[in-house]
Amino acid sequence: MASGGILDQARAAAEPTVRPPGADDHTLLAHELVKDYGDGLGVMGVDLAVDAGEVIMLVGPNGAGKSTFLGCCAGLINPTEGSVWVGGHEAGTIGARAATTYLPDHPVLYDDLSVNEHLAYIARVHGTEDWEEYADDLLEMFNLTDRADDLPNTFSRGLKQKTALLCGLIRPFDLLLIDEPFAGLDRPAQEMLVQVLGDIASDGAAVVVSTHQLDLLEIATRCVGLRDGEVVYDGRPSEEKIRSLTRG
């Protein structure tokens, strides 16, 4: 007789999650969040609230749990315990996914679609209005206009990263989650990304960025430090604090 595994997951999915206090009051709320892989990695009891207009620098050494935390917030990783809520919707539900853009640390792109075709497809799926003009602006800002009809599978790491960023930005969202977005970007693109993230926050979205890039300090409103899956700092960002939190 089968036991555990898929059946346990199905039973858990059928049980309603208890809505924690404040689930409807924040753009993002992690409540007693645990993801235990059994090897000492993951997240262990994270409580974190992020509001509209905030830019959070998520920092910590390798293995601190940053990517796991973002994956749970995006609804791609099921928590062992606790829950995550996006605008009052539990992570992973249709409502939460509709409000969230998530960009992992490695670009995820289609092999057979050009940059323009990526943008058109994503914009239409998510009901972006007047997306064509916005797409042209994004292409120009990240210096991709001349490559718009090319297939990203022929691109360098940096150009793929730019394409993934455009795909994430072309759709509407209330929460932007990005894992190491500066990797592979040239200096002008890094500076442009900081500017764009600041504009997004000014327009009312919440932004959570896993990065040690000190350029982000100019727009970051908070720094959240993870170590061994736990929040060890949540406060004002500074170069000194970020350097201390990223030491292994």
Q: What is the pLDDT of residues 40-72, one digit of tens each?
A: 789 999 999 999 999 999 999 999 999 999 999
Contact partners, residue 111, CB within 8 Å, separation at least 6: 151, 153
Identify whether 53 is part of a domain.
yes
190 within a domain of the structure (yes/no): yes
Query: Residues 75-99: what's their mean pLDDT?
Result: 96
β partners of residue 234: 224
Entry pTM: 0.91
Assess if residue 47 is contained within a domain.
Answer: yes
Domain count for the chain, please give it.
1
66 within a domain of the structure (yes/no): yes
pLDDT above 70 as % of the chain: 93
Residue 198 belongs to domain spanning: 27-108+171-245
Residue 63 maps to a domain: yes
Domain-located, residue 121: no
CATH of the domain at 49: 3.40.50.300
- pLDDT-derived band of residue 7, with 50, 70 and 90 as boundaries? very low
pLDDT in tens, 119-156: 999 999 998 888 999 999 999 999 999 999 999 999 99
Q: What is the predicted pLDDT for the residue at 2?
A: 41
**Angle at CA of residue 244, ends 239 and 246, nearest 5°:** 95
